[in-house]
Amino acid sequence: MPRARANGIELEYELFGSEGGRPLVLIMGLGAQMILWDEEFCAALAARGHRVIRFDNRDVGLSTKIDGWRALDLAAAMAAAALGRPVAAPYTLSDMAADAAGLLDALGIAAAHVVGASLGGMIAQTLAIERPACVLSLTSIMSTTGDRELPRARPEAVAALLEPPPRDRDGAMARAAKVFRTIGSPGFPFDEARVRERAGRSYDRCFHPAGVARQMLAILAAGSRAPALRQVRVPTLVIHGTEDPLVPVAHGIETDKYDVSDVDVLDRSRALNFAQSKRLSRLDDHERVDLPTLAQFAGFTRCGALGRHAALSLGPGQILRTDGKGLGVRQPV
């Protein structure tokens, strides 16, 4: 796969689709390599007319590692962040957003639709705030504004993430199975074979736990993006599972609150907003990010699984929702 010089580092990336396709950049989450954006998912987006860019964030995969930082103490950093104290980090979410912008520049792409999952959603939000000219639309999946007043992760989810790094490939696969069993959707069968296979491929490609810890420090060092999100003017889509134990759904609701759109996506029932197609329906057809395909990706995340009939039946003005145990389509209230 090719590499590009971006923001003073090198980023490993891969392209799907024709050169004339609508540019769509996918930003993965904490410690996750670009291969977690499945090839089938990227190909499906490309088949719908997108020029898909997936890449390894700094410190993971085959992109540049930011080594040389002092000893890492994540537990202490998390405690400091919980108390509102400053957290030192070797780089920031702004640096990671600048990486993405630099990659687009290296590829000769002036602006793209930007989709981020978890940490990737934080990076995507930061990119939309700090470099709005680069962003045609923003999709934030199972992410947060960074507001420290929001509910915290469940203890078991935190404990799963803080387990010691594995010693070998088998350990990496076992750890991944444990983590995703803990943070995954409770309402759908757990595909352990798939989780273990992806963990094994990731381990073979690059095993660098120190980079994951440094990315976590960047998250903990970041302040709230909520005030700045008020200034974001691009069409925005928020996708979040209501039973997410790692980033509780209140974070998704908070992210949605700062969208300047005049569309209220909040469903007053317990099974509230999973996504809102109306956000993007105001775009011309050639500008649209394909919601059903994005939702199909969300079916493999903490948002829960997705039935094909639900994705394909989604129409303008309808709300795609989940309660972590099922998914349906309904008209907005």
pLDDT of residue 144: 96
Nearby residues of 203 by Cβ (< 8 Å), 6 or more positions away: 166, 169, 172, 173
What is the Cα–Cα distance from 65 to 59, expressed in whole angstroms? 4
Provide the CATH topology of domain 3-330. Rossmann fold (3.40.50)
Instruction: For residue range 41-89, list pLDDT tens digits in order.
Output: 999 999 999 999 999 999 999 999 999 887 778 888 988 988 889 999 9
pLDDT of residue 66: 96
H-only helix segments in the chain: 39-47, 74-82, 93-106, 119-130, 155-161, 169-183, 192-205, 209-221, 226-229, 249-257, 278-281, 291-298, 308-312
pLDDT in tens, the chain (333 residues): 899 999 999 999 999 999 999 999 999 999 999 999 999 999 999 999 999 999 999 999 999 999 988 777 888 898 898 888 999 999 999 999 999 999 999 999 999 999 999 999 999 999 999 999 999 999 999 999 999 999 999 999 999 988 899 999 999 999 999 999 998 877 778 899 999 999 999 999 999 999 999 999 999 999 999 999 999 989 888 888 888 999 999 999 898 876 554 333 333 222 223 333 222 222 233 334 555 556 555 544 555 433 222 222 233 333 333 333 333 332 322
CB atoms within 10 A of CB 8: 11
Radius of gyration for the alpha carbons in the chain, expressed in angstroms and rounded: 18
pLDDT of residue 170: 98
Cβ atoms of residues 25 and 104 within 8 Å: yes
Cβ atoms of residues 118 and 247 within 8 Å: yes
**What is the value of pTM for the model shown?**
0.83
pLDDT of residue 297: 55
What residue ranges do the domains of the chain occupy? Answer: 3-330
pLDDT of residue 302: 58
Question: Half-sphere exposure (CA, 13 Å, Cβ side) for 122?
Answer: 27
pLDDT of residue 68: 84
Nearby residues of 107 by Cβ (< 8 Å), 6 or more positions away: 4, 13, 15, 53
Assigned token pair, 114:
């930007």
pLDDT of residue 161: 85
